[in-house]
Amino acid sequence: MAQSARVAVIGAGVAGLAAARELHREGHHVVVLEKRHSLGGTWLYDSRVDSDPLSLDPARDVVGTSLYHSLRTNLPRQLMGFLDYPFAKRPHEDQRTFPGHEEVLRFLNEFADEFRLRELIRFCTEVVRVERAERRNDAWVVESRNHGSDSAVVVREVYDAVVVCNGHFTEPQLAEVPGIEKWCEYQIHSHNYCTPKSFMGQVVVLIGLGPSAFDISREVATVAKEVHITTRAPNVTVGKSDNHENIWLHKMIEFVYEDGKVVFQDGSSVHADTIFYCTGYKYHFPFIETNGIVTIDDDNRVGPLYKHVFPPHLAPWLSFIGMPKQDTPFLTTELQSKWLAHVLSGKVLLPTEEEMMSDVENYYHHMEETGVPKSFTHVLPPNEIEYRNWLLAQVEMPPLKEWRGRMYRECVKFAKAKLDGYRDQWDDDYWDAVIASQEVNHLA
Ligand code: FAD
């Protein structure tokens, strides 16, 4: 007979909502603890920013998310739905294939209403500590504070299982910049960027070449005097951008000086007003106490995690949903959650602790042998299709249709090739026909 567990899900973003739905469907008793006033996580835009523009102060109040005001998705909406609940276009709403962030939030709210997830969520409730119960090895004590009432009061509750869905786009990762300790001009991380207006007339040096760096550099260039993008990526064509009068590409920063001078490794230099870090984020679980069983190392590897979800020694009572990077998070968190829900109800058995550990070690070994840096531990591509189909196989569901993997790869390639305006050059008719030919119920 299926077992039912009392489960605490931490966070009501995409991962927490996906986990709550699957766990609830499977008959578990679910409580979602969310520190903000509403659901959506990253997609719940807030124009307030941290008091410290680099977010270095551990005591700072993290108020906003890492979205900026003008953000449109960097994936087509077809890749941002759930298997049985696609992110469909609706009349009178944002109809674009790469919609604005408000449309994603609307979708998530509708998803929560459709599956009655809102009633499982305790808003304004921040989890401050999670640790194993002293007397029961398979139980967890979860301590939380309610920001709506007396936030000094810590509530202690015991759960059978804890599912960590706190996201990984909040704790900035900074690049090392030689000479920065004497730098007197402004510095900011993209986590604290909302609009370009404060960069009016400035010379901005922006570090990074990912999707946020791409969008933000273009937007800042509309008001700044100059934008100098610097990257450690090999094979960059150094020099002025073909499409923009005031954007340059450089190799990494060699040194920065007190008077605002920035020297690049390609030999050029500028006097800058701002260093802007679009250098990504770190995993961060300040509330979990596992006595060193789960660690985050300097390369941002969280481990050991079997298939990015279960720490073998604590499985299945502690799990992490949404760890993978550079992927389609909606679908992956949904599939991870299905697997988790089935494991907790005893319908799917995990391998032994030793077997899971050995799987993790083999994975690390394979990365090392093939020259994949440790910082790529949770980057799914190029194995994302294999990973997702593996998860599906655990719950006896058929593999994904071929269009999903192909669309993701085409989108990454297309964005790189078309650069500016790629979102509005996507061939909707072509992809609609591809999906219709493969899916019985094509709704998107
Ligand atoms: P989050 O959305 O971060 O949610 C985590 C939740 O946990 C939050 O609500 C937070 O308040 C809560 N929480 C954290 N700590 C605690 C605590 N201690 N107690 C209680 N609650 C807590 N993905 C796409 O699919 N398409 C895109 O186009 C796309 N663009 C992106 C652009 C940017 C700039 C960024 C930063 C991300 C983008 N992503 C995109 C990835 C995006 O983060 C995922 O789509 C998704 O939001 C991840 O959901 P999550 O639930 O894992 O994390």
Report whether residue 14 contacts ligand 1, using a CB cutoff of 6 Å: yes
Report whether residue 336 contacts ligand 1, using a CB cutoff of 6 Å: no
User: Could you tell me whether strands 261-264 and 253-256 are parallel, antiparallel, or unpaired per DSSP bridges?
Assistant: antiparallel
pLDDT at residue number 1:
62
φ and ψ at residue 208, rounded to 5 degrees: 130, 160
Q: Strand locations in 97-256, DSSP E?
A: 121-122, 125-132, 140-146, 154-159, 161-164, 171-172, 186-189, 203-207, 226-230, 239-240, 247-250, 253-256
Residue 127 bridge partners (DSSP): 144
pLDDT at residue number 150:
67
Q: Kindly report the CA angle at 86 between 85 and 87, in degrees rounded to 5?
A: 125
Which SS3 state, helix, strand or coil, does residue 37 take?
coil
User: What is the spatial distance between Cα 8 and Cα 130, in angstroms, rounded to a whole number?
Assistant: 10
Omega before residue 91 within 30° of 0, cis: no
User: What is the spatial distance between Cα 77 and Cα 75, in angstroms, rounded to a whole number?
Assistant: 6
Instruction: Give nearest CA residue, ligand 1 atom 12.
Output: 11
Per-residue pLDDT tens listing for the chain (444 residues): 679 999 999 999 999 999 999 999 999 999 999 999 999 999 999 988 888 899 988 888 777 789 999 999 999 999 999 999 999 999 889 999 999 999 999 999 999 999 999 999 999 999 999 999 987 777 999 999 998 766 679 999 999 999 999 999 999 999 999 999 999 999 999 999 999 999 999 999 999 999 999 999 999 999 999 999 999 888 888 999 888 999 999 999 999 999 999 999 999 999 999 999 999 999 999 999 999 999 999 999 999 999 999 999 999 999 999 999 988 999 999 999 999 999 999 999 999 999 999 999 999 999 999 999 999 999 999 999 999 999 999 999 999 999 999 999 999 999 888 778 899 999 999 999 999 999 876 554
Which SS3 state, helix, strand or coil, does residue 396 take?
coil
DSSP 293: S
| Residue pLDDT, tens place only, 135-167 | 777 799 999 999 876 667 999 999 999 999 999
Q: Please enumerate in sequence order all residues whose Cβ is within 8 A of that of 1, keeping only pairs 6 or more positions apart, or say none.
A: none
The CA radius of gyration of the chain, in Å to the nearest whole number, is: 22
Give the predicted TM-score (pTM) of the model: 0.96
The complex scores an ipTM of: 0.99
User: What is the spatial distance between Cα 106 and Cα 87, in angstroms, rounded to a whole number?
Assistant: 10
User: Could you tell me whether strands 125-132 and 288-289 are parallel, antiparallel, or unpaired per DSSP bridges?
Assistant: parallel
Nearest to 422 by CA among 72, 29, 176, 56: 72
Q: Which of 42, 335, 426 to mutate to test the pocket of ligand 1 (most atoms within 8 A of CB)?
A: 42
CA dist 128 → 101, 142, 291, 313 (Å): 29, 8, 16, 22
φ and ψ at residue 171, rounded to 5 degrees: -100, 100
The answer to whether 329 and 73 are in contact (CB under 8 A) is no
pLDDT at residue number 444:
45
Tokens 């973003």 correspond to 13
Report whether residue 212 contacts ligand 1, using a CB cutoff of 6 Å: yes
Q: Kindly report the CA angle at 140 between 40 and 289, in degrees rounded to 5?
A: 80
Report whether residue 74 contacts ligand 1, using a CB cutoff of 6 Å: yes
User: What is the spatial distance between Cα 212 and Cα 72, in angstroms, rounded to a whole number?
Assistant: 10
Which SS3 state, helix, strand or coil, does residue 152 take?
coil
What's the burial of 416, exposed, middle or buried (CB within 10 Å: 0-12/13-18/19+)? exposed
| Residue pLDDT, tens place only, 194-236 | 999 999 999 999 999 999 999 999 999 999 999 999 998 888 8
pLDDT at residue number 442:
57
Tokens 């276009």 correspond to 89
Instruction: Give nearest CA residue, ligand 1 atom 41.
Output: 329
Which SS3 state, helix, strand or coil, does residue 227 take?
strand
The answer to whether 97 and 422 are in contact (CB under 8 A) is no
CA dist 393 → 63, 166, 302, 352, 436 (Å): 39, 26, 25, 19, 24
Q: Please enumerate in sequence order all residues whose Cβ is within 8 A of that of 4, keeping only pairs 6 or more positions apart, or say none.
A: 27, 28, 29, 345
Q: Which of 9, 10, 14, 327 to mutate to test the pocket of ligand 1 (most atoms within 8 A of CB)?
A: 14
The answer to whether 338 and 390 are in contact (CB under 8 A) is no
User: What is the spatial distance between Cα 141 and Cα 158, in angstroms, rounded to a whole number?
Assistant: 5
φ and ψ at residue 221, rounded to 5 degrees: -65, -20
User: What is the spatial distance between Cα 276 and Cα 230, in angstroms, rounded to a whole number?
Assistant: 10
Which SS3 state, helix, strand or coil, does residue 10 take?
strand
User: What is the spatial distance between Cα 177 and Cα 264, in angstroms, rounded to a whole number?
Assistant: 11
Report whether residue 337 contacts ligand 1, using a CB cutoff of 6 Å: no
Report whether residue 16 contacts ligand 1, using a CB cutoff of 6 Å: yes
The answer to whether 322 and 333 are in contact (CB under 8 A) is yes
